[in-house]
Amino acid sequence: MASQREVGSVAQRKKILVLTTASLVCSMIMLDSNIVAVSLPAIARSLHASFTDIEWVVSAYVLTFAALLMAAGSYADRHGRKLAVLIGLAVFAVASGLCGLATSAIMLNLARALQGVGASLLLTAALAVINHTFDGSERARAYAFWGSCIGIAITSGPIIGGIITNLAGWRWAFLINLPICAILIAVSFYILSESSDHEAKRLDFAGIVTFSTGLFLLIWALIDGNTAGWASRSIMCRFVGAVVLLAAFIFVELRQERPMVDFALFTQRDFLGSVFAMLGYAGGAQVMIFFLPMFLQNAYGYEPAAAGLAMVPFALPMFLTPRFGGRLANRHSVRSLLAIGLITTFVGDILLYEFARAGVKYLVFAAGMLVVGAGAGLLNSETTKAMQGAVPAQRGGMASGLTSTVRFVGLLLGVAGLGAVLSKAVSREFTAAATVQSLDPRLATAAAKRVASGDLSGFIGAVPPGLQSGVHRAAQAAFAGGFATVSLVAAAVAAASCILTLILTRTKNVVVSPANGVR
């Protein structure tokens, strides 16, 4: 009997080590998606980058990440989850080194795209490892732990990025990944056991090409729309190309014997409701991790490290709320929890809109960050559990790939779409205010591009000395006004997602868990 208990204890410790390793791998990916947020103004100054360029610093990473997640999930299912983790860590390490050595915006963005390739392998494989290792009530607890780790990584990214940027420069926000990857490669090699799906077949190359290219054209159009003109031929061609290719992707997948995406899932109302909840989380809450650090630096004048620390009111509830949400799950349905999270996000976004427009002190503005962070923390783990739970366990790679794809496509569209809103609003408000300040219209138009990128000091030298103070205040006010508009649109996304989730999701009963009875 003692021997059985000892074996059970060893097996349980092994599971804990596997969960910790997989969670740390995922945390590094999420950390890197946000660690550059505070560094963007410094990158813009260092590489003389435009707002479009710095959008790509985030979007190039998320684009390849999101576009390849389902393919990466299929690869992990077919060739092994442990192998996928090790390859992903190697690719991620090489790309991080290239990011740290970049001498131009284009080089940085290409290296960020390569990082996204490695990250896609890492996330899908790590989630599939968790899905394979745990089941039943253990899996729910494992995802709660995973959600807490991800919440810490997502929200601490700007804090860590700000400190690193101040102390060592923005390049070290990337170079720090090299020793981390080396440690994780060694740990993963010894801790993780190999697993795969015996029913998995060859990679769906037609699906990979049509989806990846279609998504790229869509994001490219959204990011360049303000600069090239939304009705211009190049932008319209990209939109048309995106629609054609994404339609071709659906056609190709429907004809596959074992597709990357099982579209039958989208006929299930509960699954579709969780998809809209995930999109609401990404476009209404998670996207703020990109815009808040820029706002804190440009509207309040904080240095990168101070802006990172000022993100704590957003970060803290993202860490604490999943723990509270785990207790709520014992008494409330998934439908209720998703609705609570989206409503909380909506209220927080409205507060950010009102506070940014009113120009309140930071301590007041932080209250809005707390509310949005609470909504994001609850949705972060609940949306993942809802989507993963609708997919058979043997297709863990596909499940994690699909779940993560929806999340990051939503984030990608949020960054690109709200970035277009921010750029347009900031440029319009600054140009109007600078003209009132008697600044030359041509200089005002050129300066507006620097203001939109977060480089408020990059143009001041060209402004007549007597106007510099007034123009700088106008730049801060313009950025605050642009951020207010972004917050209002994010609130609309959260509200629409909440309505669709409530309409579509029918599962109102509390789920029964063998571990604790009612759940």
pLDDT of residue 513: 36
**Token pair listed for 215:** 């998504």
> CA torsion, points 180, 182, 185, 186, in degrees to nearest 10?
-110
- Phi/psi for 169 (5° steps) reads 100, 155
Give the start-to-end residue ranges of the domains of the chain. Answer: 2-204+256-441+468-511, 205-255
Q: Yes or no: say if 223 and 52 are a contact pair by the CB < 8 Å rule.
A: yes
Question: If you average pLDDT over every residue of the chain, what do you get?
Answer: 81
Q: Yes or no: say if 44 and 455 are a contact pair by the CB < 8 Å rule.
A: yes
In this prediction the pTM is 0.78
Nearest to 507 by CA among 407, 390, 379, 377: 390
User: Is residue 442 packed enough to be buried (19+ CB in 10 Å), middle (13-18) or exposed (0-12)?
Assistant: exposed
Report CA torsion sign: 449, 453, 454, 459.
Answer: negative
Residue appearing with tokens 């440029």:
427
User: Is residue 48 packed enough to be buried (19+ CB in 10 Å), middle (13-18) or exposed (0-12)?
Assistant: middle
Q: Yes or no: say if 438 and 467 are a contact pair by the CB < 8 Å rule.
A: yes
Rounded distance, CA 452 to CA 52, Å?
A: 9
At residue 368's C-alpha, the angle toward residues 363 and 372, to 5°, is 140
At residue 86's C-alpha, the angle toward residues 82 and 87, to 5°, is 115
Q: Yes or no: say if 368 and 246 are a contact pair by the CB < 8 Å rule.
A: no
Three-class DSSP labels, 68-92: HHHHHHHHHHHHCHHHHHHHHHHHH
pLDDT of residue 329: 57
Give residue-wise pLDDT tens across range 47-72: 887 777 887 888 888 888 877 877 78
CA distances, 126 to each of 86, 132, 259 (Å): 10, 10, 21
Rounded distance, CA 48 to CA 180, Å?
A: 30
Rounded distance, CA 294 to CA 403, Å?
A: 28
User: Which segments of the chain have a pLDDT < 50?
Assistant: 1-2, 509-519
Q: Which residues are registered as beta bridge partners of 518?
A: 512
Rounded distance, CA 154 to CA 517, Å?
A: 32
Long-range CB pairs of 169-174 (<8 Å, 24+ gap) are: 169/42, 170/36, 170/39, 170/42, 170/43, 170/46, 171/99, 171/100, 171/101, 171/102, 172/100, 173/35, 173/36, 173/39, 174/32, 174/36, 174/96, 174/97, 174/99, 174/100
Q: Yes or no: say if 142 and 17 are a contact pair by the CB < 8 Å rule.
A: no
> CA torsion, points 30, 370, 44, 426, in degrees to nearest 10?
130
Q: Yes or no: say if 277 and 383 are a contact pair by the CB < 8 Å rule.
A: yes
Close Cβ partners of 34 (under 8 Å, ≥ 6 residues apart): 153, 154, 155, 157, 158, 161, 289, 290
Rounded distance, CA 224 to CA 229, Å?
A: 8
Nearest to 409 by CA among 30, 31, 64, 26: 64
Q: Specify the length of the chain in residues.
A: 519
pLDDT of residue 230: 82
Rounded distance, CA 212 to CA 120, Å?
A: 13
Q: Yes or no: say if 26 and 404 are a contact pair by the CB < 8 Å rule.
A: no
CA distances, 459 to each of 424, 444, 464 (Å): 18, 10, 11
CATH number assigned to the domain with residue range 2-204+256-441+468-511, chosen from the 4 options 3.90.1150.180, 3.30.70.260, 1.20.1250.20, 3.40.50.300: 1.20.1250.20
Q: Yes or no: say if 468 and 460 are a contact pair by the CB < 8 Å rule.
A: yes
